[in-house]
């Protein structure tokens, strides 16, 4: 190839280590290109010596130009059909043109910072290609107009790439134009990595321009590089964005139109029921932009959940995600502050606001602002709040918590609810004072982009905007309808974070206890501060009617926050949480309000149920439907029972208390985290299950990351699936939103290895995927996926290792040979080797050389030749310690793991080989302690079985190794054998038979056997029977088979008849006959025991309903009656025993025996009958 010469030159002149930085871009796509890339040092990589860079870059350029120049006919006429010539010339001309620019004397000579860089510009860029080209050339770079040979290009400059190009350029250095611009401006070549083009930083005409706000993860991922950066401003300058076109609004608040009586503002209603309440949120039932976009597979793969970096991007831009993360972070900061307070390491800040004047408060504020500046410096790099810390003012908190009770109960408590006034807007306005007093909303979509159909959600609206009826949660399109001149400002998460931290820092100073409600909202308990203020107050101020220390404190806090952030905070003060929240409503905007207990009733009465925290639209609906009223004053008249009936027990009780201004809730300052989750319901559009699985695993990674952040493990996993409601359009009104959905939840235990709690992403992903698979949803229908991990437990404090226990081997002190010993040994070895070589040279027979190097240098367990191969002479020449070591090792090997018959192991195969002598060292040498110390008591054989059992994999069923047949091969066709005798019987010659292949053998033997048993081989039937599924006639109703009656066979009396046949008697008459014959035959003899048992068995069986049903009982009674009659007939006089004490006569004995037999059987029957009916049987 043509370029090989120039690159090899470069390779020689450059140290190989210099190319390390580009390693990570390699993929085995184009070996030649990769080689070039690897061997080329680029100025953008590392600050390499400029001359070196020049040297190695020069050939690239020169060789190229020379080859063209040599032809000398660049400007000549092109030949017909020679397109290659045309292109070559065009390229050459362009290079000449470039040279012209570079050589232009009119332009000032710029520093040649781009020397050695060859740049291709892709697509539309800002600044334009022409400008960039000039810039490059003036600074000594090479501008490549075509990318037909990638190896010529070192960097690609672009502002946007198609997904296909993303793929194409994945191994190249793709950089944003800012790199060139900034470098040129600073006169230094900046590291290109800080300007890597990230694919998803794109503009989407249908969604408006994404604000270039640097987001959470991006700053994290690039922070490491930023540290190396000399000028930190360089990258941040890219964040500058043009302020949205100022539009002068007509500030003429129209009456807010109320499209529905009970409107709900959200951009993506989850159920169609909810959707009914959303007033013309979007212009279309189904988003036409989304439909159009989804038709483009490339777009799809880049911007929906299929995209590889989707989750990252999703969280970068999700406002809700930031808010929830911050809340969690704030909470953990609070918790840390409390822990520190409890541990007594608090340096109590000077927090005296309890003067009368503003002066001290100001001092406090100064302090706060100074601190918060520190904070903002420290935490400036990211949007996360990590790294900041709060200091809790009062360490008494810990003690209170120990008692489970915080602050005095009842009306003595002072709770403040502090809430920023439209936080996002006012934070945004700090930097844009020109918009103050105008209708402003904060949302993703900016300027006039997205037109009238933008579905971007309004996150916060200024009071002026609210005057138009704009509410949070509306879409931008709706807001525009209400106020066409609305001004949109972007999110500034970093600013919010800083403000929030300042806000909390101030609150911390005054609060006994603090509950973080959200970024811009907190509840604080200031009871003790207020008490102190009150105690310090002079008697006459106390007496004055307007004196209210709580309100003063609130105003002080407001002033501090205003000073620190420039934003207004409203504070509601009351004696419980519920009322303080309500008081804030009155306080807004920019005020404070103290709701004193006496005014509560009056205050509450005109409020609506919806105004209460925790009661929403559905509660109002219910109250309206079932109670007919929604005003708190009216609700107060309802009894608790009525409220409970209407709203459910707990809601009813809460409401009953709430309308009376009672709220028992405590501030939750240290609520433990119960779950970690990751929910994504935006942009979920899959095509097949593989994509879903990949995505789930990516989500699992995210969950794992979060779990690791707070250091927990989980035991339970819940999967939440949103599936498109069958009636909803495929593309919902919100762009890539979820639309109306059916929601499914599934929970299961989460088991890491050994059934432990886990945070492993693989395990979580597998569990989630398994659950999702169980639903068997069409992947195209999925609209939202959430993974939540519950039953958290701390990851630290190494849990006791469950599962396999450890054998307590005796610890071996491995004796380290001293330095001298090692040296001595080395010498000995080399000496031995020399001797061995000499010996080898002498011996005529070529013996297999001992691989002495491996034996002596490597640990003996590896690469040791088998003992029979060891050259005796060499072996003997080894120093004693090494020899004994080898001996032991050989011994050990022969002993395990495959026990060889003893003789074989001890007797070498050839006499020439030495017999390893049992050296005294074997016993005591501690290097191989294996067979020691694993003896069962009493025996001195190692308990190998137990050990192997323990070593067996735990989960697998423990097959004991002696169950050989489990692993034995099942006899297959190959093992199939017919005994010779049978073959002879079948008239088959065994020898010939043995020669046949197995399948023919089978055929033959089967035929022969059939011939023998049936006489003929059955003919194959002429017509083939085609098996067909039974046709189901759908007109005919399929009937189940009718139920079958169950008849119990009566127990039978078996008797051997004279003819050798067995007779079975079940009928009453027959059995009566048999009994009669029996008694008659034995009337002069006592009954035979066997006979009694014979009848007794039948009779007892018959009485048992389970065996013989009640008919059996009837039969048994009849038979017994007959037997009784017979006994009475023959032995009637003996029924009641003897009347005399003499020796009983034979007749008497016989009679008594019969009666005894009869009574015995009767008793047995009674016992059975008693179970069923109680009492006994009567034979009357």
Where on the phi/psi map is residue 135: left (φ > 0), alpha (ψ -120 to 50), or beta? alpha
Q: Does 1163 bind another protein (CB under 8 A)?
A: no
Instruction: Give me 1072's structure tokens.
Output: 């009566």
Q: Which of 507, 878, 1117, 1157 binds another protein (CB under 8 A)?
A: 1117
Give the closest residue to 178 by CA, choosing from 131, 216, 247, 224: 131
| Shortest Å distance, C-beta 1039 to another protein | 8
Rg (CA), the chain: 48
Looking only at residues 454 through 493 of this chain, which bind another protein when binding is defined by CB under 8 A?
A: none
Identify any residues that bridge with 421 across adjacent strands, giving them in sequence order: none
Looking only at residues 1058 through 1087 of this chain, which bind another protein when binding is defined by CB under 8 A?
A: none
Instruction: Count other Cβ atoms within 10 Å, centred on residue 887.
Output: 21
Give the integer Cα–Cα distance in Å for 668 and 661: 19
Q: Which of 171, 1066, 1109, 1164 binds another protein (CB under 8 A)?
A: 1109
Q: Does 1111 bind another protein (CB under 8 A)?
A: yes
Give the integer Cα–Cα distance in Å for 331 and 52: 55
Q: Does 1170 bind another protein (CB under 8 A)?
A: yes
Q: Which is nearer to another protein, 658 or 1117 (CB)?
A: 1117
Instruction: Give me 920's structure tokens.
Output: 């005294």
Q: Does 1036 bind another protein (CB under 8 A)?
A: no
| Shortest Å distance, C-beta 1075 to another protein | 18
Burial class (CB in 10 A: 0-12, 13-18, 19+), 429: buried
Q: Which is nearer to another protein, 54 or 1179 (CB)?
A: 1179
HEC letters along 746-808 = EEEECCCHHHCCECCHHHHHHHHHHHHHHHCCCHHHEEEEEEEEECCEECCCCCCCCCCCCCC
Q: Does 1045 bind another protein (CB under 8 A)?
A: yes
Q: Does 1173 bind another protein (CB under 8 A)?
A: yes
> Where do we find the tokens 């009849």?
1118
Q: Which is nearer to another protein, 1153 or 1177 (CB)?
A: 1177
Q: Which is nearer to another protein, 771 or 1168 (CB)?
A: 1168
Q: Does 1113 bind another protein (CB under 8 A)?
A: yes
Give the integer Cα–Cα distance in Å for 947 and 805: 11
| Shortest Å distance, C-beta 1180 to another protein | 5
Strands 415-420 and 521-525: antiparallel
Residue 417's alpha-carbon distances to 48, 648, 1028, in angstroms, are: 59, 28, 78
| Shortest Å distance, C-beta 1115 to another protein | 9
Q: Which of 963, 1024, 1046, 1090 binds another protein (CB under 8 A)?
A: 1046
Q: Which is nearer to another protein, 480 or 1115 (CB)?
A: 1115
Contact 478, 364 (CB under 8 A): no
Tell me the window of 551-559, 849-857, 899-907, 1167-1175 that interacts with another protein (CB under 8 A): 1167-1175
| Shortest Å distance, C-beta 1163 to another protein | 12
| Shortest Å distance, C-beta 293 to another protein | 54
| Shortest Å distance, C-beta 1109 to another protein | 5
Strands, sheet with 741-749, edge to edge from the N-terminal-most edge strand: 676-680, 782-790, 716-724, 741-749
| Shortest Å distance, C-beta 1012 to another protein | 43
Q: Which is nearer to another protein, 423 or 1123 (CB)?
A: 1123
Which secondary-structure segment (H or E) carries 156?
strand 155-158
Give the closest residue to 582 by CA, choosing from 606, 563, 559, 561: 606
Contact 1051, 1108 (CB under 8 A): yes
Tell me the window of 598-606, 673-681, 696-704, 1035-1043 that interacts with another protein (CB under 8 A): 1035-1043
| Shortest Å distance, C-beta 1048 to another protein | 7
| Shortest Å distance, C-beta 1033 to another protein | 20
1045 contact partners, CB below 8 Å, separation of at least 6: none
Main-chain phi, psi angles of 656, to 5 degrees: -60, -45
Establish whether the linkage from the previous residue to 897 is cis, with ω within 30° of 0.
yes
- Site map (CB under 8 A) of another protein, residues 993-1032, x = contact: ----------------------------------------
Q: Does 1040 bind another protein (CB under 8 A)?
A: yes
Q: Does 31 bind another protein (CB under 8 A)?
A: no
Burial class (CB in 10 A: 0-12, 13-18, 19+), 223: exposed
Strands 118-122 and 142-144: parallel
| Shortest Å distance, C-beta 1134 to another protein | 23
Q: Which is nearer to another protein, 150 or 1101 (CB)?
A: 1101
Give the integer Cα–Cα distance in Å for 77 and 89: 10
- Note the helical H segments in 588-671: 600-604, 617-622, 632-635, 640-647, 649-658
Q: Which is nearer to another protein, 956 or 1037 (CB)?
A: 1037
Q: Which is nearer to another protein, 233 or 1040 (CB)?
A: 1040
DSSP per-residue string spanning 831-857: HHHHHHHHHHHH-SS-PPPP-HHHHHH
Q: Which is nearer to another protein, 18 or 1177 (CB)?
A: 1177
Give the closest residue to 61 by CA, choosing from 131, 129, 144: 144
Q: Which of 1110, 1129, 1137, 1147 binds another protein (CB under 8 A)?
A: 1110
Q: Which is nearer to another protein, 980 or 1110 (CB)?
A: 1110
Q: Does 1114 bind another protein (CB under 8 A)?
A: yes
Q: Does 1042 bind another protein (CB under 8 A)?
A: yes
Q: Which is nearer to another protein, 256 or 1114 (CB)?
A: 1114
User: From start to end of 172-272, where are the E strands?
Assistant: 173-175
| Shortest Å distance, C-beta 1110 to another protein | 3
Q: Which is nearer to another protein, 42 or 1168 (CB)?
A: 1168
Q: Does 431 bind another protein (CB under 8 A)?
A: no
Q: Which of 84, 971, 1043, 1060 binds another protein (CB under 8 A)?
A: 1043
Main-chain phi, psi angles of 1062, to 5 degrees: -90, 135
Q: Which is nearer to another protein, 30 or 1110 (CB)?
A: 1110
Q: Which is nearer to another protein, 743 or 1118 (CB)?
A: 1118
Give the integer Cα–Cα distance in Å for 836 and 849: 9
Number of residues lying near another protein (CB under 8 A)? 25
Q: Which is nearer to another protein, 976 or 1173 (CB)?
A: 1173
Q: Which is nearer to another protein, 674 or 1171 (CB)?
A: 1171
Give the integer Cα–Cα distance in Å for 267 and 275: 9
Instruction: Give me 279's structure tokens.
Output: 């007033």
Tell me the window of 507-515, 611-619, 918-926, 1172-1180 that interacts with another protein (CB under 8 A): 1172-1180
Q: Does 1177 bind another protein (CB under 8 A)?
A: yes
Give the integer Cα–Cα distance in Å for 316 and 786: 17
Q: Does 1172 bind another protein (CB under 8 A)?
A: yes
Q: Which of 1048, 1146, 1160, 1163 binds another protein (CB under 8 A)?
A: 1048
Give the integer Cα–Cα distance in Å for 237 and 241: 9
- Note the helical H segments in 539-626: 539-543, 549-565, 577-587, 600-604, 617-622
Q: Does 1107 bind another protein (CB under 8 A)?
A: no
Instruction: Give me 242's structure tokens.
Output: 């043009």
Looking only at residues 177 through 196 of this chain, which bind another protein when binding is defined by CB under 8 A?
A: none
| Shortest Å distance, C-beta 1072 to another protein | 15
Q: Which is nearer to another protein, 762 or 1176 (CB)?
A: 1176
Give the integer Cα–Cα distance in Å for 996 and 881: 63
Binding site for another protein (CB under 8 A): 1040, 1042-1048, 1105, 1109-1111, 1113-1114, 1117, 1169-1170, 1172-1178, 1180
């Amino acid at each position: 190839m043509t370029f090989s010469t120039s690159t090899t030159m470069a390779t020689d002149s450059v140290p190989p280590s210099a190319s390390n930085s580009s390693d990570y871009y390699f993929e085995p796509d184009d070996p030649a290109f990769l080689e070039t890339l690897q061997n080329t040092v680029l100025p953008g990589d590392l600050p390499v010596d400029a001359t070196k860079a020049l040297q190695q870059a020069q050939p690239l350029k020169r060789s190229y130009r020379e080859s063209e120049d040599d032809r000398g006919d660049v400007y000549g006429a092109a030949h017909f059909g020679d397109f290659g010539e045309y292109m070559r010339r065009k390229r050459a001309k362009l290079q000449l043109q470039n040279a012209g620019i570079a050589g232009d004397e009119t332009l000032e000579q710029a520093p040649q910072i781009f020397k050695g860089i060859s740049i291709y510009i892709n697509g539309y860029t800002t600044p334009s290609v022409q400008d960039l080209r000039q810039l490059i050339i003036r600074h000594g770079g090479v501008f490549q107009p075509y990318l037909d040979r990638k190896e010529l290009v070192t960097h690609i400059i672009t502002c946007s790439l198609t997904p296909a190009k993303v793929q194409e350029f994945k191994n190249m250095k793709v950089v944003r134009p800012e790199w060139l611009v900034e470098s040129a401006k600073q006169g230094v070549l900046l590291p290109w990595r800080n300007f890597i083009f990230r694919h998803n930083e794109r503009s989407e005409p249908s969604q408006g321009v994404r604000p270039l706000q640097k987001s959470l993860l991006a700053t994290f991922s690039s922070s490491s590089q930023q540290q190396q950066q000399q000028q930190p401003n360089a990258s941040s300058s890219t964040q500058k964005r043009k302020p949205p076109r100022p539009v002068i609004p007509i500030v003429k608040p129209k009456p807010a139109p109320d499209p529905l009586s009970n409107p709900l503002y959200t951009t993506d209603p989850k159920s169609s029921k909810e959707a009914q309440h959303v007033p013309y949120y979007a212009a279309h039932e189904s988003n036409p932009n989304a439909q159009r976009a989804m038709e483009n597979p490339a777009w799809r793969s880049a911007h929906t959940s299929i995209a590889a970096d989707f989750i990252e991007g999703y969280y970068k831009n999700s406002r809700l995600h930031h808010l929830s993360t911050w809340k969690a972070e704030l909470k953990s900061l609070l918790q840390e502050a409390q822990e520190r307070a409890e541990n007594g390491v608090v340096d109590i800040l000077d927090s005296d606001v309890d003067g009368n004047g503003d002066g001290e408060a100001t001092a406090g504020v100064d302090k706060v602002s100074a601190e918060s500046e520190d904070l903002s410096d420290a935490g400036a790099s990211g949007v996360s709040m990590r790294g900041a810390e709060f200091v809790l003012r009062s360490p008494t908190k810990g003690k209170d918590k120990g008692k489970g009770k915080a602050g005095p109960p009842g009306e003595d408590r002072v709770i403040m609810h502090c809430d920023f006034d439209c936080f996002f807007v006012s934070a945004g306005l700090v930097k844009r004072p020109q918009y103050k007093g105008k209708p402003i909303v904060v949302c993703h979509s900016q300027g006039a982009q997205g037109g009238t159909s933008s579905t971007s959600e309004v996150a916060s609206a200024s009071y002026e905007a609210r005057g138009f009826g704009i509410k949070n949660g509306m879409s931008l399109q709706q807001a525009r309808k209400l106020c066409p001149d609305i001004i949109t400002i972007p999110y500034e998460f970093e600013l919010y974070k800083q403000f929030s931290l300042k806000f909390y820092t101030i609150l911390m100073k005054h609060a006994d206890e603090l509950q973080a409600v959200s970024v811009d909202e907190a509840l604080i308990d200031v009871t003790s501060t207020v008490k102190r203020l009150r105690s310090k107050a002079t008697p006459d101020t106390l007496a004055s009617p307007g004196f209210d220390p709580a309100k003063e404190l609130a105003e002080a806090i407001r002033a501090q926050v205003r000073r620190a952030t420039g934003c207004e905070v409203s504070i509601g003060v009351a004696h419980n949480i519920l009322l303080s929240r309500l008081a804030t409503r009155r306080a807004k905007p920019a005020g404070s309000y103290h709701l004193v207990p006496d005014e509560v009733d009056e205050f509450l009465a005109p409020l609506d149920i919806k105004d209460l925290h925790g009661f929403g639209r559905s509660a109002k609906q219910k109250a309206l439907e079932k109670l007919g009223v929604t005003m708190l004053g009216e609700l107060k008249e309802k009894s608790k029972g009525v409220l409970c009936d209407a709203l459910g027990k707990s809601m009813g009780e809460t409401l009953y208390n709430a309308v009376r201004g009672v709220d028992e809730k405590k501030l939750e300052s240290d609520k433990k985290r119960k779950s970690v989750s990751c929910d994504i319901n935006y942009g979920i559009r899959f095509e097949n299950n593989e994509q879903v699985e990949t995505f789930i695993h990516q989500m699992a990674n995210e969950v794992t990351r979060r779990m690791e952040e707070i250091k927990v493990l989980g035991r339970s996993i819940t999967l939440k699936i949103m599936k498109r409601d069958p009636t909803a359009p495929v593309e919902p009104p919100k762009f890539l939103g979820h639309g109306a959905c059916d929601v499914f939840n599934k929970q299961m235990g989460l088991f890491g290895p050994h059934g432990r709690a886990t945070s492993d992403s693989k395990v979580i992903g597998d569990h989630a995927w398994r659950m999702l698979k169980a639903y068997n949803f069409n992947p195209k229908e999925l609209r939202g996926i959430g993974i939540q991990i519950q039953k958290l437990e701390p990851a630290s404090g190494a849990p006791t290792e469950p599962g396999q226990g450890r054998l307590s081997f005796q610890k071996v002190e491995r004796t380290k040979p001293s330095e001298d010993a090692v040296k001595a040994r080395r010498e000995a070895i080399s000496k031995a080797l020399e001797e061995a070589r000499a010996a080898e040279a002498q011996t005529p027979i070529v013996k297999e050389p001992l691989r002495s190097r491996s034996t002596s240098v490597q640990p003996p367990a590896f690469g040791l030749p088998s003992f029979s191969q060891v050259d005796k002479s060499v072996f003997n020449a080894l120093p004693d310690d090494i020899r004994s070591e080898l001996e032991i090792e050989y011994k050990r090997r022969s002993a395990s793991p495959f026990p060889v018959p003893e003789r074989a192991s001890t007797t070498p195969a050839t006499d020439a080989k030495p017999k390893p002598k049992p050296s005294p060292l074997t016993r005591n040498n501690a290097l191989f302690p294996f067979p020691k110390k694993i003896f069962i008591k009493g025996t001195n054989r190692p308990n190998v079985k137990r050990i192997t059992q323990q070593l067996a994999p735990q989960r697998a069923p423990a097959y004991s190794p002696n169950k050989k047949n489990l692993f034995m091969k099942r006899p297959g066709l190959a093992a199939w054998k017919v005994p010779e005798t049978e073959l002879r019987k079948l008239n088959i010659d065994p020898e010939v038979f043995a020669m046949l292949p197995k399948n023919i053998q089978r055929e033959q033997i089967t035929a022969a056997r059939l011939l023998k048993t049936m006489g003929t081989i059955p003919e194959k039937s002429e017509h083939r029977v085609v098996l067909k599924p039974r046709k189901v006639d759908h007109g005919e109703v399929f009937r189940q088979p009718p139920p079958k009656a169950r008849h119990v066979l009566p127990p039978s009396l078996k008797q051997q008849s004279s003819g050798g046949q067995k007779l079975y008697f079940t009928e009453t008459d027959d059995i009566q006959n048999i009994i009669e014959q029996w008694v008659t035959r034995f009337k002069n003899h006592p009954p035979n025991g066997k006979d009694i048992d014979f009848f007794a068995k039948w009779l007892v069986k018959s009485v048992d309903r389970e065996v013989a049903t009640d008919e059996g009982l009837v039969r048994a009674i009849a038979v017994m009656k007959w037997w009784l009659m017979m006994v009475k007939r023959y032995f009637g006089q003996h029924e009641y025993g003897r009347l005399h004490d003499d020796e009983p006569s034979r007749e008497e004995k016989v009679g008594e025996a019969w009666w005894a037999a009869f009574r015995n059987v009767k008793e047995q029957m009674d016992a059975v009958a008693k179970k069923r009916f109680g009492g006994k049987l009567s034979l009357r």
